Amino acid sequence: MEKFLIIGASGQLGTDLTLALRARYGEDHVIASDLNEPSGALQPGPFERLDVTRKDRLKAVVRKHQITRICNLASILSARAETEPKRAWDVNINGLLNVLDVAREEPLSQVFWPSSIAVFGPDTPPVRTPQTTIMNPKTVYGISKLAGERWCDYYHLTYGVDVRSLRYPGLISYRTAPGGGTTDYAVDMYHQAVKNKSYVSYLSGDTLLPFMFIDDAVNATIQLMNADAGRIRVRSSYNVAAISLSPGDIASSIRQHYPDFQISCRPDYRQKIAGSWPRSIDDSPARRDWGWQHQYNLDKMTATMLDKLGL
């Protein structure tokens, strides 16, 4: 049976993906790892402290647990990467190269690595952005994700590594705090709706960006990982989409549950990052090749978020 190593498991996606894989494959078959302690939801459960930039340690963990598949989620996200560009490059690219090399050398049966809509830039067609188009990202994070996509494609073509990847939009979840991305405001807005009934947004109220609820993101990931290799036609990274939202849209949806909820907007440096990204994504290749379909619209997501956070 397959044995997974989740790198970056303590983060927003890692926590939910590890839980979902453990429910499906059993706790002993899914080893969580991170620089930081595991989030409460992952305890108890097998855990290794691991820095993905240290290849020797990565290889030792893979051998110790007889790992067959790695999900490498360790990353410095968009807003934080602008404040630590060199560290972001080190974690996002050298970390990925360590994983790809270990996959080739051991060999492993599969690597999953997330890209992002941040690979696109201001020259990209912003509406229904196609799978293949002009990229030219302007952020350190986007540059690292685009380079990572090319490395994934290269390791597949040159060394036959079974690499699979998704360009996630902004992810919205309730189990863990988000880790420094430009779309974090959406998660925070739900938290503040429950606590304070008001929110100050760092993006303008009409800034439209692509988002996805965490359950859809986890399902997309597991579906792609388990698809027959012959159906995977994109080895750089697939566009995946669910809903495009602005702070104003989310506030309106929250008001159906909390009619007094107020937002005000004070845009900061993240407005420029958001302005360079697409407003909506064309994910028809993912839907055609391996049957991707999202389940959550805005109101279903809002009801779930407020229910989970309000308890």
Q: If binding is defined by CB under 6 A, does position 144 make contact with ligand NAD?
A: no
End-to-end Cα, the chain, rounded Å:
37
Residue selected from 77, 111, 250, 306 as contacting ligand NAD according to rule CB under 6 A:
77
**Residues taking part in catalysis:** 141
Residues with Cβ within 8 Å of 75's Cβ and at least 6 positions away in sequence, in order, are 8, 91, 92, 95, 114, 179
Q: Binding segment for ligand NAD among 50-58, 127-135, 235-243, 267-275 (CB under 6 A)? A: 50-58
Residue with tokens 């809002």: 302
CB of 181 to ligand NAD, least distance (A): 5
Q: Of 83 and 264, which has the nearer Cβ to ligand NAD?
A: 83
Q: Hey, which bits of the chain come out as E strands?
A: 4-7, 30-34, 47-49, 69-72, 110-112, 115-116, 163-164, 166-168, 170-172, 198-201, 209-213, 238-239, 243-245, 262-265
- Of 256 and 295, which CB lies nearer to ligand NAD in the complex structure? 295
Closer residue to ligand NAD, CB minimum distance, 77 or 242: 77
By CB under 6 A, residue 140 contacts ligand NAD: no
Paired with 111 in beta bridges are 70, 163
Spatial separation of the C-alpha atoms in residues 42 and 76, rounded to whole Å: 21
- For residues 115 and 163, the answer to whether their CB atoms sit within 8 Å is no
Name residues contacting ligand NAD, limited to 276-305 (CB under 6 A).
none
Minimum distance between the CB of residue 260 and ligand NAD, rounded to whole angstroms?
28
CA distance 103 to 268: 40
Q: How many residues bind ligand NAD (CB under 6 A)?
A: 30
Does 95 engage in binding with ligand NAD (CB under 6 A)? yes
The C-alpha atoms of residue 302 and residue 255 are separated, in whole angstroms, by 10
CA 70 to the chain's CA centroid: 15
Give 170 or 278: the residue with its C-beta nearer to ligand NAD: 170
Residue 110 interacting with ligand NAD (CB under 6 A) = no
What are the φ/ψ torsions at residue 179 (nearest 5 degrees)? -105, 30
Rule CB under 6 A: choose which of 121, 179, 210, 247 binds ligand NAD. Answer: 179
Minimum distance, C-beta of residue 170 to ligand NAD, in the bound complex (Å) = 4
Binders of ligand NAD in range 1-30 (CB under 6 A): 7-8, 10-14
CB of 17 to ligand NAD, least distance (A): 8
Q: In whole angstroms, what is the distance from residue 174 CA to residue 196 CA?
A: 17
Stretch that binds ligand NAD, among 73-81, 232-240, 266-274, 300-308 (CB under 6 A): 73-81
Q: At residue 57, what is the residue type?
A: R
21's enclosing H/E stretch is helix 12-25
**Is residue 183 a contact residue for ligand NAD (CB under 6 A)?**
yes
Binding site for ligand NAD (CB under 6 A): 7-8, 10-14, 34-36, 50-53, 73-75, 77, 91, 95, 114, 116, 168, 170-171, 178-181, 183
